[in-house]
Structure 1
């Protein structure tokens, strides 16, 4: 609307300042977004994404710093960005900070162009499942575990039972399907920019300098410099944020939590923190 009225003014009166809304998608990608640790999910990012696309601007800038996580949430965030870009006819410019890997890279390809620092980490186009096995632990501490199921496959990959070959094969088949979806998405978005490299979809990751050669990014550069070059020296960046009061952040306002609820949430937060640390550690961060 502002741009519409700006065009009605005499040329000498028109504002030459362009304001570009900026979204920061930083963190691991986890279902639900986490109650006690900030993370990325469709639920935690949809409001900010929609707010940015409602802004009167020629483009949306997205800063990404994520080692990945949930493939489902990654694709949901990707799709929300692309849906709004098409609906609002907006260009999406993505800027990678430390890392856009795995699910983080899946979100990055929502951009019409991807920029990164030469030392940023990009890629890791693959699928991983990690867990621990404790088949002898309960016996050693004198605990008997009892699991009763209706359905012979309801307890597959139980960490307290020896791993079965057929369970692993079933898991790998699922991973291959998810991996194929990821590969198809990258090919669809990056197209002929991608180099025909045998390692491209093996889960390897590279610096953005090498990623540029492989076609994973479009150029090297930082957000401020690129946007000022693209839209003029007077270009301003406006960070789009969601309201985050103490009660809003933890979802406590208007809700009743018992001590067990809080304890369970805290325990989940510890698990999320361990998972988050492992994801970042893969890239030396």
Structure 2
């Protein structure tokens, strides 16, 4: 693997239901590696053929019926490295692989955390914080070049949401979530590639709710999807793109793809 390599992360919200837009994206953008979250399909039912027809012959999946699920689809050879149970209940939320150049690629789907930001009232919120704490302990022991991508379900900066003031008590942007994510970032000395290439206060959103009649007109977005790299990987990054137009495609996910290009 040498030259420019494009790596994409996308919460697809059901890969079978949205396979048409996945194929369109792959034809138009031609990434080398696609990391999907929320595939919502058992491994035996994953739609391999559309990817193979487009030249993506290396497919690793960690699925679950109707919920969660992650997959890594690649033009270049990949070797499965780990499936970590950061949720501590065997949900399919992580898949890690090694790339030919030795970089570890970790694809994660962090729990959304429910609607109430209180672990006593809402156990799902506590599970989310505990998930991130387990990721933090893992991050402290990293010993190789690593790229961490996926739906983190947290918009950390005030500029990562349409209204910092109005979302301070809304799950995904509460102070405790932001602080917990910051501990994870600091534990691995991670570089946030999105903000590395698009520094705040630049607008940078990756998710818009289905509840809006016109998502673009209301533009109440949040940056929930991220790509973080250890510093030895970050120095090889040459660009980061968010594909906002994909939110307007037929039967869209509520998330859009994000992509970092590397000079490898």
TM-score higher than 0.5 = no
Greater helix content: 1
- Higher Rg of the two aligned structures: 1
TM-score (norm 2): 0.29
More relative contact order in 1 or in 2 (CA 8 Å, sep 6+)? 1
TM-score (norm 1): 0.28
